[in-house]
């Protein structure tokens, strides 16, 4: 009986030693492999060869390589732990349908990422609006496009949704049209109003000088005539131009005694 117990203990110790070494090697491979994959992915973005090609493609390839390396590391860990390669492949094949159904959203995003790279509706650094959000494109990965909103929030947008929905690219053409509306009293001298508004826009150093300026009536409110000022400004100076125009309109109206009407409610005395 004692010899049987000794043999059993010896066998268990050998199994523990063998399994323990496998687990240690697998953990070492996992830690080192994941760090190496991260390092290679970062280095790829800085490689001169990739920097010469389209930066969207470079970001996409870097993300793809990172995921591929991590998958290889995980497979290597499973093989070290003793999972037979044939069984591993068979298990993946048998679960292919279930995996495909579970990852159909991810596959859609992957296909969407390829469509974005092929048709290039936007690039890294462009300011876009899509999928209900607007911001500057920071990165395009195999599944998501990352943007930074004007209030400094990072949003991850699925590539599949961006490739299917309408995307507005505010940066693509280099400049935009500013539309600024202002209400003036009905009794105002419209010739003077146009002259003052034109003066404000023409003196704005941030507008594009060779592009047309429009000052026209666009509507009639209950207590005011709605005028619209339209001109063009480069993307880099767009909001600076708009903010300056709004402030200058207030200043020049005040100098000429022109008030901007607003809704009033007169409540008589209750007897």
- Domain ranges for the chain, please list them: 12-94, 108-169, 175-255
- Contact between 87 and 39 under an 8 Å Cβ cutoff? The reply is no
The SS3 call for residue 144 is: strand
What is the model's pTM?
Answer: 0.62
Count CB atoms within 10 A of the CB of residue 8. Answer: 10
List Cβ neighbours of 177 (8 Å cut-off, separation of 6 or more).
230, 231, 232
CA angle 234, 236, 241 (to 5 degrees): 65
pLDDT for residue 239: 93
Closest Cα to residue 124, out of 114, 135, 110? 135
Which SS3 state, helix, strand or coil, does residue 218 take? Answer: strand
CA distance 129 to 132: 7
Residues of the chain with pLDDT under 70: 1-21, 45-58, 83-105, 263-271
Confidence (pLDDT) at 38: 79
| pLDDT of amino acid 19 | 63
- What are the structure tokens assigned to 210, written together? 């060779």
Read off the tokens for 100: 């495909």
In this structure, whether the domain defined by 175-255 belongs to CATH 3.40.50.720 is answered with no
What fold is seen in the domain 108-169? SH3 type barrels. (2.30.30)
- Alpha carbon distance 236, 185 (integer Å): 34
Tokens at residue 56, please?
């969207």
- For position 170, what pLDDT does the model report? 94
CB of 65 closer than 8 Å to CB of 54: no
pLDDT at residue 201, as a whole number: 96
CATH tag, 12-94: 1.10.287.1260
């Amino acid at each position: 009986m004692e010899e049987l117990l000794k043999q059993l203990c010896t066998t268990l110790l050998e199994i523990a030693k063998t399994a323990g070494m496998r687990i240690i090697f697998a953990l070492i491979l996992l830690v080192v492999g994941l760090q190496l994959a991260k390092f290679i992915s970062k280095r790829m973005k800085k490689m001169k060869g990739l920097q010469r090609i389209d930066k969207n493609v470079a970001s996409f390839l870097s993300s793809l390589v990172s995921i591929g390396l991590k998958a290889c590391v995980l497979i290597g860990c499973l093989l070290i732990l003793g999972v037979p390669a044939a069984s591993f492949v068979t298990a993946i094949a048998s679960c292919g349908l279930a995996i495909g159904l579970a990852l159909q959203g991810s596959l859609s995003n992957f296909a969407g990422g390829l469509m974005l790279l092929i048709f290039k509706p936007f690039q890294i650094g462009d300011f876009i609006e899509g999928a209900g959000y607007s911001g500057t494109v920071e990165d395009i990965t195999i599944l998501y496009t990352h943007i930074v909103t004007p209030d400094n929030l990072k949003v991850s947008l699925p590539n599949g949704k961006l490739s299917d929905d309408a995307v507005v690219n505010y940066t693509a053409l280099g400049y935009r049209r500013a539309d600024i509306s202002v209400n003036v009293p009905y009794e105002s001298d419209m010739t003077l109003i146009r002259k003052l508004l034109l003066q404000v826009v023409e003196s704005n150093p941030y507008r594009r000088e060779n592009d047309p300026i429009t000052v026209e009536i666009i509507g009639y409110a209950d207590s005011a005539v709605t005028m619209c000022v339209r001109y063009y400004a480069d993307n880099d100076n767009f909001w600076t131009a708009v903010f300056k125009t709004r402030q200058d309109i207030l200043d020049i109206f005040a100098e000429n005694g022109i008030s901007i009407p607003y809704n009033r409610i007169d409540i008589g005395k209750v007897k």
